[in-house]
Amino acid sequence: MKTFGLIAKWLIIIVGVVFAIYTGIWIMFAGGIIQIIDALKNDLENIEIAKGVVRIILATPVGTLIISISGIVGVAIQVICGVDDKVKIKRRQRP
């Protein structure tokens, strides 16, 4: 059970980081630029330009939120499964 918790924790965190990068960069940032370009080609629709600008502005907060949620879920799984992956330091006894 402890091995499962440790693997699940890191898997969820890695998937969360990949999903956050994909969402933040491609869907939000590049999608906002593409939306602005398409709006400029098609009769200067002001609302579409505004939506594109908002997508570009919100790209970083959305990516950060997704990474934070995946980190919290990963740590929660670690706690539920009882995984203790902290490094224990042995102290030398003084003579």
Res 80 pLDDT > 60: yes
Sole residue written with tokens 């969402």? 23
pLDDT (0 to 100) of residue 88 = 56
pLDDT at residue 67, as a whole number = 86
pTM (two decimals): 0.66
Cα torsion 48, 51, 56, 57: sign: positive
pLDDT tens per residue, range 3-60: 777 787 788 888 888 888 888 888 888 988 998 888 888 877 788 888 889 989 988 8
* Dist. CA 11–CA 14, nearest whole Å: 5
The domain limits of the chain are: 2-81
